[in-house]
Amino acid sequence: MQSIKLAIVAGARPNFMKIAPIIHAIQNSSKDIVFKLIHTGQHYDKLLSDNFFEDLNIPEPDYNLNVGSGSHAEQTAEILVGFERIMLDDAPDLVIVVGDVNSTMACTLAAKKLNIKVAHVEAGIRSFDLTMPEEINRMVTDSIADYYFTTTEIANVNLRNSGAKEQQIFLVGNTMIDTLVNNLNKLKKPVIDNKILDSQYVVLTLHRPSNVDAYDKLAQSIRRICSKLQDYTIVFPVHPRTANHLKDFTLPSNLITTPPMRYLEFIYLLRKSVLVVTDSGGIQEETSYLEIPCITLRKNTERPETITMGTNILADIEDDSFDEAINQFNTGQLKSKSSIPYWDGRTGERIVSTISNIFN
Ligand code: UD1
């Protein structure tokens, strides 16, 4: 019998946390599975890419498309062309894509046009908000992928509602949580004043285009957050997208900004914080697992289980819902207990054993 040949795709920071446990599960498996790793180069900075490969012990990619930044069309087009070339040269039995970034959608499209099977990890989650580029990426990817690895039953329902067949859907859990579980005993202290790390501090992250691309909204949001949480130091690792828009901003006195952190440092920071304010998708999941209250500055979430079963609530920075969320935090009403089925650190193994069953 021949080995099962996989092509695993990663392009941007949150993808790296999702592929690591799949790769390690393949490496630790007795099944005859080989893989090639393709980095699209959507994220290329050391801070957003290489450091994550190092921290998470991900092997060097076999191919790097080096697509870099650009408009959505430019980035998607370059990935389509580059990934098609690799697939024509080195066709696998299955392409594995993760998450919802431009690389996820572009590689799915290129592979499917060549009749190569695609499995989507983190399939089926939906914000139903088509102003988010990620929602379009999720919908396109799920409309043509062959196998769906899902994080919750809610995602299964979304997939069924859009016509997926039961035998294509596998509820396996969350690979991002595998990475968290596997690294909890390896965390590293970030380079921040010890006094802050020993105090009750809040972590802030913002990078969604809808929150950061307009300077006035971004500046007002940061001022509002800092004034409502004036008794706390707020630690804000700044994503390059946000940094581009913050050049002329005078920082409030209780705000400390840092460059993007390494994975092991960022989780250290999260774990010791009393509250997280964010617009990230993955951080809603990580704070739920770590049982830290999280206020997500969005009108919707594709991860509703973090609200119903985790520690997350949604708030709009431009209306009273933010004040209400802060009140709940101040009066200890935000949830700090969580339990989400299958988020147990074994998702990578379940994915590898499912792939082995499908191809044998
Ligand atoms: C992308 C993903 C988003 C994910 C986020 C995590 C899409 C549509 N968006 O958004 O889902 O949550 O990554 O970070 O795929 N830049 C750098 N260095 C880099 C990469 C980017 O400085 O290594 C700069 C770019 O020049 C650009 C900005 O960051 O100004 C945005 O980068 P881009 O990859 O286009 O989108 P993200 O906002 O990072």
How remote is the CA of residue 241 from the centroid of ligand 1, in Å?
Answer: 6
3-state secondary structure the chain: CCCEEEEEEECCHHHHHHHHHHHHHHHCCCCCEEEEEEECCCCCCCCCCHHHHHHCCCCCCCEECCCCCCCHHHHHHHHHHHHHHHHHHCCCCEEEEECCCHHHHHHHHHHHHCCCEEEEECCCCCCCCCCCHHHHHHHHHHHHCCEEEECCHHHHHHHHHCCCCHHHEEECCCHHHHHHHHHHHHCCCCCCCHHHHCCCEEEEECCCHHHHCCHHHHHHHHHHHHHHCCCCEEEEECCHHHHHHCCCCCCCCCEEEECCCCHHHHHHHHHCCCEEEECCCHHHHHHHHHCCCEEECCCCCCCCHHHHCCCEEECCCCCHHHHHHHHHHHCCCCCCCCCCCCCCCCHHHHHHHHHHHHHC
- Nearest Cα residue to atom 37 of ligand 1: 241
How remote is the CA of residue 28 from the centroid of ligand 1, in Å?
Answer: 32
- Nearest Cα residue to atom 14 of ligand 1: 13
pTM across the whole model:
0.97
User: So what's the pLDDT on residue 179?
Assistant: 98
Interval 28-37 mean pLDDT = 96
User: So what's the pLDDT on residue 223?
Assistant: 97
User: So what's the pLDDT on residue 326?
Assistant: 98
Distance CA 5, CA 95 (A): 9
- Which of 39, 43, 207, 245 is the catalytic position? 207
User: So what's the pLDDT on residue 71?
Assistant: 97
Tell me: pLDDT of 306 over 90.
Answer: yes
User: So what's the pLDDT on residue 151?
Assistant: 98
How remote is the CA of residue 3 from the centroid of ligand 1, in Å?
Answer: 35
What residues are in contact with ligand 1 under a 6 Å CB criterion? 12-14, 42-45, 48, 69, 100-102, 133-134, 207, 239-241, 244
- Nearest Cα residue to atom 19 of ligand 1: 43
Q: What are the pLDDT digits (tens) for 232-272?
A: 999 999 999 999 999 889 999 999 999 999 999 999 999 99
How remote is the CA of residue 271 from the centroid of ligand 1, in Å?
Answer: 25
207 catalytic residue (yes or no): yes
Q: Which atom in ligand 1 lies closest to the alpha carbon of residue 70?
A: 35
Tell me: pLDDT of 1 over 80.
Answer: no
User: So what's the pLDDT on residue 152?
Assistant: 97
Tell me: pLDDT of 140 over 80.
Answer: yes
Percentage of the residues of the chain whose pLDDT score is greater than 90: 99
Position 67: which residue type?
V
* Mean model confidence pLDDT for the chain: 97
User: So what's the pLDDT on residue 216?
Assistant: 93
User: So what's the pLDDT on residue 247?
Assistant: 87
How remote is the CA of residue 357 from the centroid of ligand 1, in Å?
Answer: 36
Q: Which atom in ligand 1 lies closest to the alpha carbon of residue 42?
A: 34
To test the pocket of ligand 1, the residue of 42, 136, 278 to mutate (highest count of ligand atoms within 8 Å of its CB) is 42
User: So what's the pLDDT on residue 248?
Assistant: 85
User: So what's the pLDDT on residue 252?
Assistant: 96
Interval 163-191 mean pLDDT = 98
